[in-house]
Structure 1
């Protein structure tokens, strides 16, 4: 599933702007301008790094991911030998920190279904989840410079003896102090209707301002128009 979105020479993985942008739009349904091919500060989607880790190391019962550095087309990613704790680096700089424990599954069917469902959920959190959850507290992101940073995520599996999983949204949380805030997006993992795991995605928000419905409507219209244009 991931082969079109990276290349590997010996132990070095690289991702072009075109590949990162294609993954964001074709797999994650994520139209963040940071993932555009011509973005001034292009950034490889964190969900692609998450997907590559699962593909490389399998799915463990407990996994935590911390996105430390910004990966772009110049990054030369080194995936180290399997361990309970490891770091994906580029030119000796840490880009992603991973910790894991418990049993491990390398079932490609399970990993593919988890990857597709999580990435789709993660990629569509803006604007469908983030804007409403901030609006409940009468604040919003700065539409001129919407800074939402993918900080970390965690997954726990109660049962790895399943073939496929689906994802359902859980209870989300948003808190802020001044112009900075934190978003905690929770989800459950289901197999044949039964809960087999759960997870969280943590995001940082800056440039928070007072809520304005007209501005929010304009922002959502802009996002939807951009999405329909780029998908055409």
Structure 2
């Protein structure tokens, strides 16, 4: 993965074109969420791309939490590092889009950061349909087929050590907490290297506009998603 292909920089400022963000979603994250389509009426830059750029620019801390505060469209963001434990990513007008909390030792090992990023993005790309659809069926709810809203809320990662090179993420279970027409999904994982656990974490997704689960309607959404995915790769 050549991360620099998916954004442009000018000092501390980072910009993402729709083409760059959409390519990252589909070609790197295996994410075909309609929100990442170039011509989407409601478009946003993938949270996984913001995560990848943040690690690339700020390094990897032993404990990190990422909280997404808004959808990035075509805004130019300021990735300005600080010596403190908190970093806020905002646009030129001061609107915050991402907050990062970090603790512990810091690594600038490019290979480790690249390997962890690719492993996390690969895990994250399985969110839909592999992880979310079984959760929705279990809770008897589903997203609106006509306007599916599944948004990245936050993620956290905790490493036992930074003296690793080839970390791999493996799912350790998922849950879906439903509150009316809204729900929060928690996708847990542990981080492995050479058969031993070296860390753990979780990804949190917000679902909106929920309705009663209908097997046939949900299968149409999945089929459409898979068809779009196959067509893009052909």
TM-score range, shorter chain: over 0.9
**Deviation of residue 124 (structure 1)?**
2.1
2:20 partner SS: helix
Alignment match, 2:36: 35
**Cα separation, 1, equivalents of 2:148 and 2:41:** 15
- Which residue matches 1:169? 171
Choose from 159, 162, 170 the match for 2:161.
Answer: 159
Inter-partner Cα distance in structure 2 for 1:31 and 1:186: 21
The CA distance in 2 between the partners of 1:167 and 1:154, in whole Å, is 13
Does 2:10 align with 1:13?
Answer: no
**RMSD, matched Cα:** 1.0
In structure 1, distance between residues paired with 2:186 and 2:17: 30
- State the secondary structure of the residue aligned to 1:171: strand
Indicate yes or no: 2:99 matched with 1:97: yes
User: How many Å separate the matches in 2 of 1:222 and 1:41?
Assistant: 19
Residue of structure 1 aligned with 2:116, choices 101, 114, 117: 114
The answer to whether 1:210 aligns with 2:212 is yes
Q: Secondary structure at the match of 1:222?
A: helix
Q: Structure 2 matches for 1:40-189, cutoff 5 A?
A: 40-73=41-74, 75-82=75-82, 83-91=84-92, 92-189=94-191
Measured after TM superposition, the shift of residue 80 of structure 1 is: 1.6
Structure 1: 5+ residue stretches without partners: none
TM-score (norm 2): 0.96
> 42-51 or 136-145, which moves further after superposition?
136-145
Instruction: Write the deviation string for residues 126-167 of structure 1: whole angstroms up to 9, x where unpaired.
Output: 111101111112221111111111111100001110111011
Q: Deviations over 1:47-85 (max 9, x none)?
A: 000001110111111100010121112x11111223310
> Aligned equivalents of 1:219 and 1:5: distance in 2?
28
